[in-house]
Structure 1
Amino acid sequence: MLNNKVCIVTGGAQGIGRCIVETFAKNDALHVYACDMNAAAMVDLETKYPNVSAVELNVCDRDSINYFIDKLKETHGHIDVLVNNAGVTRDNLIDKMTEEEWDFVSDVNLKGVFNMTQAVVPVMMEGDAGSIITMSSVVGTDGNIGQSNYAATKGGVIAMTKGWAKEFSRKGAQVRANCIAPGFIETPMTVDLPDKVLDHMKGKTPLGRMGKPQDIANGALFLASDNASFITGQVLKIDGGLVI
């Protein structure tokens, strides 16, 4: 599905990001660059998949991003897919949330997406094609208690994506921008939650279970592929019916 495509996935060390990297690699991507601040956790990906490279990268470091993108352009001449997956949480009620908690989440989840997209999209525009996929959340569409910072960033990337869908295509370029909004997904971030919390999450989901990283990766694969060539500016909710 991804023949000859050069792909970048941020937050590729674990959870959803790692699953996306593996799914792209197994679906014939020319090369997948798994980017994360924890490069050591991705070494086995390079061993398992000859078309995967682990890259230590901070989405808040614009100089490092620009250097990395310049090298990719020099090596391949094109970049076809960017998955903005890197994200963090620092939950707190609004009256207790610190400025540091607000700034940290905003810098990674919102500005980090801006930084990566700003660096990659000129290369896509030159090639007249590309797919930018950004991880939002049902929290970004419908809110959640104690997550003002997270909700703001996940809602913000939806707004940016809709603007980008119009901006990048205004001169006829086939550069698409879409979001995925996961619901409750089994990841390293949820594995240690108490059973009563997990049961509550499952109970709120019409399909009666939590999603798996592969559910999200399948959506990303579709949006990255030419099968989604007429889809842009959309938010794909993969949430088991949680938000209807």
Structure 2
Amino acid sequence: MTDAHAPDAGTAQAKLPPLDQRTTPEGAHRVLRLAILGGLFVPGSQLREAGLAADLGISRAPLREAFSRLEEEGLLVRVPFRGAFVAEVSPRTIEEIAALRYLLEPYAAERTATHLGEQTGVRVQELVGALRSAADQQDMVASVDAHLAFHRFFYQHSGNALLAETWSGWENRLRLFLAVDHRVYDNLDELASTHERLAELIETGNMQRFRTELAHHVHKAPGAPLDE
């Protein structure tokens, strides 16, 4: 594991925006979360309380609360007697998630369309709008958020609690992986266009084609198995 406050990580630390002394744990959490998901702190790197508190201009109390939230989200791991480290996700784990998504996500989308009816198209268009906005601003972190929100939607609104729980167990692992491996974000415009096409298929009621293209999209994502 690497040290996120070691000299060779000093450039990343220096980019953290300073916070007001009265900052809340929510503010510290927001800044650190963006730093992790933006790749400033790589998986496996150690986050040292003293250095981060000084860099952010806050006391250790709100920082520790922020660490607890990051740990709950799966972005941080605390090792007894060693400290806090950015969580690591192996390509193998992402491959296994992709294999399950390939099978489950089209089903989740079908169940959502049945469950929400005509509202499905309206809601999906809103999600695609967020992806397009991120693409127009070339904002990679916002694009990750919007991309995952699009796919989360189908699990959360499928009417199947186990599907929703399954996605919750995957999401931050996917976030961490994408913070390091940006292949799917090489072209944010193309990513937005892909999801706009998916939304159009829902709008026209062509669910069979939608399920097929959604499975293809998941199959081609970084980490997806290539031998199916």
Shared fold per TM-score greater than 0.5: no
Provide TM-score, normalisation by structure 2.
0.29
Relative contact order (C-alpha < 8 Å, sep 6+): which is higher?
2
Which structure has greater helix proportion? 2
Q: Compare CA radii of gyration and give the structure with the larger one.
A: 2
More strand by share: 1
